[in-house]
Structures are given as structure tokens and as C-alpha cells.
Structure 1
Amino acid sequence: MRMRTARLGALTLSLMTSVSMAWAVESTDPIKLTLHDWSGQLINTKIMGNILKEAGYNVEYVQADYIAQFAGLKNGDLHLAMEIWETTGREALDEATGTGKVVNVGETGLMAIEEWWYPSYMKDRCPGLPNWEALKDCAEEFSTAETAPYGRYVGGPVTWGGFDEERVEALELDFEVVHAGTDAALFAELESAYQREDPIMLWVYVPHWAPAKYDGEFVEFPPYSAECYADPSVGVNPDLAYDCGKPRGPIWKAAWSGLKEKWPGAYDVIEAYNISNEEMSAMVGKVDLEGVDIDTVVADWMKTNKDRWSGWITQ
């Protein structure tokens, strides 16, 4: 009798939990999260998606362009973008939130740096570094057979933005910008050059494993300001904008403005979500360096941090 009573009690509790969860989920329509083309963003997005699933929500992942995704966020075809970098996406984010159709859901906890980076062995060939002005005298040290006498700068995929071509022109640097097709190709270039101590200057970002694996430095450009990007008269070149470095700062969560009304519980979870640079760099390293599947890395994080994400759901 006691065993039967206990089983009935467990069943009742299970039913109550299911009903409570059904009430908590305001709509069974899928919440559409955007996926991009770098490992950290895929990890971040799938962690968020898994947490929302644990809260009872239906989740759908949609491949989308980093900047062009804002069109979908504005019209509600897309619902959540987990990584808008202060370094490259702030202008697009501000424009989108200015329409009232997109909302900034706050910081992810990640702090971003995206800038020109070189291996330390290049300082012997360009001793004025990390000061950007040294590049005026030693651009050829970064050249390849294809770009000589111009230095070669390997930028990220074109969809990442970043204004590198404009920066080269405004600062009058003798560099040719060559865009990597993918995130993986970008760091394959670094690995290949680093092993042979070949010349290389490329886009490196944080959080990422590369600055920990390779000895090197970011170029120190004139400090970023919004005016530098917007007003040609501001900065070292009175005639051209973008004559400064890239901004640094948080990585933001952006959402369709209707998300909070349609899925208020999910919105609260998204708003509470945060993760650190150290956590993310370690996970990206597992994927990119150790070949661990992204879904496995995400599952490990979910298991290790259950108390943490459960608190975001029940707050």
C-alpha cells in the first residue's frame, strides 16, 4: 500500500510538473535562433537553444548572415541572435533597435576584441610594432608573392564587416586586404604561417583559443570612437573616416521585439543568460583544436552547469 501510494504521489507530481510546464510555455510555435559561421557563435546559440528546450519551448535553428539577419529580426521571421559583437555589429544593432522592431536583450557576458594581429616573431622584422605607424615603414615585411610590394592582411569572411579596406585607405597603409572564406580557413592560414615563421597579419578575435595558443600581439591603432567612424574630419586623416581601430566591448543578445510578448518566459531566460570568455575560449578550443563535436561540447556544458541554467528557468 505504501509503495502504491508513493507511486501515485510521484505520478501526481509528474502530471503537475507537466501541466505547470504547459502553462509556462506561452506558445508552441518555434523560437527561431540564428546560426552563423564561427564555432563560438554556434556553441553559444546551441547552449541557449538547449536551455529553452529544457524550459519546454520549441526551438528552431536558422542559418543566417551576420549583418543581413537584422532584416529577419525586424520582420519576425527570425527571433533571436545570440552574438552581436560591439566590435563589428553595433552600428547594425543600433539601427535595428532604433526602428523599434528589434530589442537589445543585454550582454552575453562575453567581452570582445577583434583587431589586426601578428605573431611575435614579426616584431624582429617590424620593430616599431605594436604601434600601427610602424606598418608605414615595414608593410613589405608582411607581403607575399601575390601581394608584393604590398603587405597582406587576412581579414575575416566578408559578411563579418569590420571596415578593414576603409581602415587601410584612411590610414594610408600599403596593405592588400584578402578575406578568408570561412572562420576555419582564417585560422588555417595562421597555423600554416606560424609553423614556418612566414609573414602574416590577420584578423584575430577574443574570446578564442588563438591568442592563448600562439604568441603574438594586436596592432595598436588610434583609439576607436563613434565619431571616427562617422565623421571624416575626426582622427588622424581629416578627409576619411575609419582612421582608427575597431571598437571593443560586450557581445550582445538581440531579439525580435515581439518575442517578449509572445514568449515572455523565454525572454526572461534569454535576458538572464550569461557566460564567460574563459568558458567560451575553452569550448571553442575543444571544437577547433581537439575535433570534439559541437553538440557534445554543448551537452557537457549543460551537464556541468545544470544548477546554473536551472536557476535562469525558475527565476
Structure 2
Amino acid sequence: MKFAPLMGAGLLALASVAPALAEVESTDPIKLTLHDWTGQLLTTKIMGSVLEKAGYNVEYVQADYIAQFAGLKTGDLHVAMEIWATTGQEAMDEAIATGNVVSYGSTGMQAIEEWWFPAYMKEDCPGLPDWQALNDCADQFSTAETAPFGRYLGGPVTWGGFDEERVEALGLDFEVVHAGTDAALFAELESAYQRKAPIVLWVYAPHWAVAKYEGEFVQFPAYTPECYTDPAWGSNPDAAYDCGKPTGPIYKVGWAGVSDKWPGAASAIEAFTIDNAAMGDMVGQVDLDGKDLDAVVADWVANNESTWQGWITQ
């Protein structure tokens, strides 16, 4: 980072603990977006805490996952710490193509988001995990609200994912019902799992669920970019999305003006990295153990100073 030079041993010692705001390029707040799942809140608040330790003024802004790109393009929002290749790639690519949004590279985490079922469902639907078995067992997954169709419990509508399009393109006898929140999604999984009740739902990693519960992801036709853009690709020549979801990195993106206004912060954001295991553990501390999210962030920052110091001394 390109902070102004400091004079004197006393000032140097102080700077190693908490650099003063005068050292940073601008005291205007850097606006980091918050969404509606625990991992993203953790990632963002870790980054925000580190930027604050470097002397920056940080503001957190609640924003819709996909709609936030409008604010990132104009500079009304500045940084989004988690754009998943599984669900946000198209919106991210379009925003970057305008020249007003830039990528800060991968967070180090690899994303999986897909339909998932508990292992005990194989007793009632032995063809799983092959997606073609779903129609043979649709009645096993139906509820009073969806019968005669099976129910697929999707994530909140704002997460995207093209599940309705996938159901139509593959001719699945299922209805997509969206959970209102991340917490509601996994509360329903917990309830179903304890009762060994039928359920197929959106599960993602990094997350504690894939470690806590025994189950599998549905195996759809493998994703290719053409599946989402060319109806002629795949088993349904008249529809796109006749495949599974992509897997890939979780990216950091931001308003292109960040590197001009706060170059040191931009360098730190680019340097940020964390792995699936560490994130899954922290999400579990919040969602399973009931720990305060800000306390979990503070613990990580306190225990990983040698890591994040490298981010702010680029």
C-alpha cells in the first residue's frame, strides 16, 4: 500500500498498531455491500475490519446480490466481496464489460451450488443422484402445496440460479418454492433431516451443511457456457439451461474508481484470500453454535494478523 512516509520511531510503532486516517488516500467511506447469507457477511466484515485497521473509513450497505451491480457501475457502491461463478457470472461479466466495474480476482474459495438431497432419499428414489430419477420420484418429494408435482426448495429469489428455467428445460415434474432467507432454507433442511422427511433443496459450499449432513448433489448434465446461451445445446433443442449449475471461483469485484481514490485499499482487497475450510468453520460457528457474527470476525482478525498484515503492506 502507498501510505505517506512516517517520521520517527514512535510514529512507526504507533502505525504498526493502528495507522491514522491521515495516512490514507481519502477519508470518504468505502462502501462494502452486505447480502443475505452468513458467509458473505463474514467475508465482507473481515475485509472491512482489515481496511479499518489500515486507517480507512468503511461503511456497510445492505444490497441485493444481482441488483447491486447498478450501484457498483455508478460508484454509489464500491466493493462486493462475493460474486459466485455459479450464480453471478453473467451479471459480473456484463458489469465488467462496461468498464465501470473491475474484478479483484478470486477470494480463494471455490463455489458449488446445486440441488441436493439427503442420503436416506435413495431408499425411496434409488435412481438418484441421476437427475432423470427425479421424475420417477416426484410424488415422493411433493407437498400439499405442490402436489402432484415434487417440491424443490430453492434459495431466496435474489440469489438467481435459473432453477425455474432448469425445471422447464429438463421437463422436471417439480415446482420451485423459494425459501425467504438463508436461515429458513437450512432450518427446513434440519427439520426434514431429523424426521427423515423427503426434501431436495439448494445447498452450497463453502458451508457447514455439506459436512454435517450425509447427502449428495443431483447430477445434471454437465454445465458448459453454451448451455446457458444456446438453446440448440443439450437435450432440449428449444430451451437453454438444460444442464446443471457451473462450479468455480468466488470473486471480489468493485467500482473501477476505487483504485484511483483508494489505491491502497484496492491493493488490500485484491490480496484478500481465504479457503473453503476456514469459511465453512466460521459459518458453522455462527449458524450452528450461535456465536455472534461480529465476534467470530474479531476472533479471526485477532488470530490471523500475520495473514492480513500482508494484505495491507503490498
TM-score when normalising by structure 2 = 0.95
Counterpart residue identity of residue 101, structure 1: N
- Taking the aligned partners of 1:98 and 1:292, their CA distance within structure 2 comes to 40
Counterpart residue identity of residue 280, structure 2: S
Are 2:154 and 2:202, in contact at CA under 8 Å, matched by a contact in 1?
A: yes
Aligned match of 2:156: 157
Aligned match of 1:82: 81
Identify, as 1 or 2, the structure richer in helix: 1
- Taking the aligned partners of 1:302 and 1:16, their CA distance within structure 2 comes to 17
How many aligned positions are there? 307
Aligned match of 2:258: 259
- Taking the aligned partners of 2:12 and 2:146, their CA distance within structure 1 comes to 69
For residues 1-315 of structure 1, the aligned pairs below 5 Å read 11=10, 13=12, 21=20, 24-315=23-314
Change (3 A) 1:19 1:307: closer
Deviation for aligned residue 1:15: 6.8
Q: Per-residue CA shift, 1:230-272, capped at 9, x if unaligned?
A: 1111011111100000010000001000000110000110000
Are 2:18 and 2:53, in contact at CA under 8 Å, matched by a contact in 1?
A: no
Change (3 A) 1:20 1:178: closer
Counterpart residue identity of residue 108, structure 2: G
Change (3 A) 1:89 1:15: closer
- Taking the aligned partners of 2:163 and 2:183, their CA distance within structure 1 comes to 19
Q: Per-residue CA shift, 1:102-154, capped at 9, x if unaligned?
A: 00110000100000000000011111111111112111111112212211000
Q: Per-residue CA shift, 1:260-291, capped at 9, x if unaligned?
A: 01100001100000000000000000000010
Are 1:24 and 1:265, in contact at CA under 8 Å, matched by a contact in 2?
A: no
TM-score when normalising by structure 1 = 0.94
- Taking the aligned partners of 2:118 and 2:46, their CA distance within structure 1 comes to 32
Deviation for aligned residue 1:24: 4.1
Counterpart residue identity of residue 238, structure 2: D
- Taking the aligned partners of 1:89 and 1:250, their CA distance within structure 2 comes to 11
Q: Per-residue CA shift, 1:26-84, capped at 9, x if unaligned?
A: 00000000000000000000000000001110000000000000000000000000000
* Larger Rg computed on CA atoms: 1
Question: Alpha carbon RMSD of aligned pairs, Å?
Answer: 1.6
- Taking the aligned partners of 1:194 and 1:18, their CA distance within structure 2 comes to 47
Q: Mind listing any 5+ residue stretches in structure 2 that lack a counterpart?
A: 1-7
Identity of aligned residues (%): 71
- Which stretches of structure 1, 4 residues or more, deviate above 2 A after TM superposition? 9-24
Q: Mind listing any 5+ residue stretches in structure 1 that lack a counterpart?
A: 1-8
Counterpart residue identity of residue 283, structure 1: M
Deviation for aligned residue 1:21: 5.0
Are 2:21 and 2:27, in contact at CA under 8 Å, matched by a contact in 1?
A: no
